[in-house]
Chains A and B, each alone.
Chain A
Amino acid sequence: MALDADVVRLRRGDLNALSELITQYQNRLYRYLLRIVREPAEAEDLFQQTWLRVVEKIRSFDASRNFDAWLFTLARNLAIDHLRRIRPESLDEPLANSRHSENVADRISSKDHSPLDHALAAERRTEISQAMAGLPMIYREALTLRFEDEMKIEEIAQVTAVPVSTAKSRLRRSLEQLRDALEARYPGGTWQ
């Protein structure tokens, strides 16, 4: 896989490999960090710090391991440390009113065709984004890793450093809480 070749080259200090890796992971990594910290400026800062950490630790990275999971684990640890220092309460409790989610929902790029579909789809996605942003961090994380990054449960378990069974039950509870939040905010709507 081209990714593995880049990782090997990076270990030997190849700058082009670094550039390719950063571009390749740009959107995914930023999205993951944004889902965790919910502030675009902080997510961008953490994005940079993650890559600095990658450069620091790439020598001790065993190239046969999964680079994806390792990268996301590094990012996760940095994000959690950051949140612990700045906003420790945001790690555990769900937000009462999710003002942060508006930033996320702002950059919508809908692919639907008719104007009505477009409006409906955009509305549904806004609703979901807002509801998701109100969930506790580990649930947001489970949802984004499974649905947006399409990681397998085993990978998710690796990144979040929990056993597979815990990852599964977290995912299940995150979906249930998301559904509950949607029904609570938009009763009788499309989510029933």
Chain B
Amino acid sequence: MNEHDKIRELLALAAAGALTSAEEKQVAEHVRSCIACSNKLEAWRPIASELRRLPTPQPSSWLAQATLARAEAKLTEQAEHDWNRRLMIVVVAFAWVLTIASWAVFHVVSERFERLLGPQFSHTFFSQTLFSQRWISFAAFTALEWIAGGVAAVMLAIRQRGEGRLV
């Protein structure tokens, strides 16, 4: 491709001001000596200048206000949502901490309890199942508690949703 063709490709972009400084220098130098290309460049000028001065279309006068109202509502809704999510994470973590802590408490309390009852109970069925396999019994107990909690949750959720539909 000879130089004219190359420059001609850049002319439109030159009128748009979208060339790198190296490319602009290239075009300026060529145009100084080549009248044909110079004319072509000038032919772009009116289009470019009118494009720059196109009137700005005006939106309706209430657009900004309406958008603001909607966006503000969304912003507050999101802030609440974020806050609730953080709160839930804290409460769930707390629930787990309580579960683990209750293991420790159970361990401590049952040891003291065992010692208090004295060795005469160590041969009974009660102490053998409950206290010797202490961890298993406690795990079972915790599982029962969580299941009970889960059932309560499901019942409450169903009731809540039922109420919601009536209103």
Give residues in B with beta carbon < 8 Å to A: 9, 12-13, 15-18, 43-44, 46-48, 50-60, 63-64, 66-68, 70-72, 74-75, 78-79
Q: List 9 A-B contacts (CB under 8 A).
A: A18-B71, A19-B68, A44-B59, A44-B60, A125-B50, A143-B51, A146-B16, A172-B13, A179-B44
Q: Is B63 within 8 A of A26, CB to CB?
A: yes
A39, B106: Cα distance in complex, Å: 71
Those of A19-54 within 8 Å (CB) of chain B? 19, 22-23, 26-27, 30-31, 34, 40, 43-44, 47-48, 51-52, 54
In-complex Cβ contact of A175 among B44, B54, B60, B67 (8 A): B44
Q: Which of A81-112 contact B (CB under 8 A)?
A: 104, 107-111
Given the known inter-chain contacts A13-B75, A129-B54, please indicate yes or no for A175 contacting B64, CB distance below 8 A: no
Q: A154 vs B99: C-alpha distance in the bound complex, in angstroms?
A: 57
Are A148 and B51 in contact (CB-based, < 8 A)? Answer: yes
- Roughly how many angstroms separate A121 CA and B55 CA in the complex, as a whole number? 11
Nearest first, the 10 A-B pairs at minimum CB distance are A147-B51, A175-B12, A30-B59, A48-B67, A51-B71, A55-B74, A108-B55, A153-B18, A172-B12, A109-B55
Q: Please pick, from A51, A52, A175, the residue contacting B47 in the complex, using a CB distance under 8 A.
A: A175
**Beta-carbon contacts of A129-153 to B below 8 Å, as 1s and 0s?**
1001000000000010011101001
CB distance from A15 to the nearest CB of B (A): 5
On chain A, the residues within 8 Å of B70 by CB distance are 48, 51-52
Contacts of A191 in B (CB 8 A): 46-47
Q: Is the CB of A51 within 8 A of B46?
A: no
Shortest A47–chain B CB gap in Å is: 6
Q: How far is the CA of A99 from the CA of B70 in the complex (A)?
A: 32
Query: A143-B51, A168-B13 in contact; A107/B71 too (CB < 8 A)?
Result: no
Residue in chain A with minimal CB distance to B52? A147
Question: Please, which residues of chain B bring their CB within 8 A of the CB of A107?
Answer: 55, 57-58
Residues of B with C-beta under 8 A to A179: 44, 47
Q: Does any Cβ of B come within 8 Å of A185's Cβ?
A: no
Check A148/B71 contact, CB under 8 A, given A56-B78, A175-B12, A179-B47: no
Residue on A nearest B58 in the bound complex, by CB: A107
Q: Are the C-beta atoms of B68 and A22 separated by less than 8 Å?
A: yes
Complex-state Cα separation, A107 to B9, whole angstroms: 34
Number of A residues, CB within 8 Å of B: 50
Bound Cα distance from A128 to B55, whole angstroms: 11
For the complex, give the distance between the alpha carbons of A27 and B55 in Å: 11
Q: Smallest Cβ distance from B57 to chain A, in angstroms?
A: 5
Contact of A52 among B43, B48, B64, B74 (CB under 8 A): B74
Contact B16 A18 (CB under 8 A): no
Instruction: Please report the C-alpha to C-alpha distance between residue A92 and residue B63 in the assembled complex, in whole angstroms.
Output: 29
Q: Give chain A nearest CB distance to B129 CB in angstroms.
A: 54
Report how far A23 CA is from B71 CA in the complex, Å. Answer: 13
- Shortest C-beta distance, B83 to chain A (Å), equals 11
Question: Residues of B contacting A40 with CB < 8 Å?
Answer: 57, 59
Interface 0/1 of A166-192, CB less than 8 Å to B: 001001100110110010000000111
**Chain B residues within an 8 Å CB radius of A171:** 12-13, 16, 18
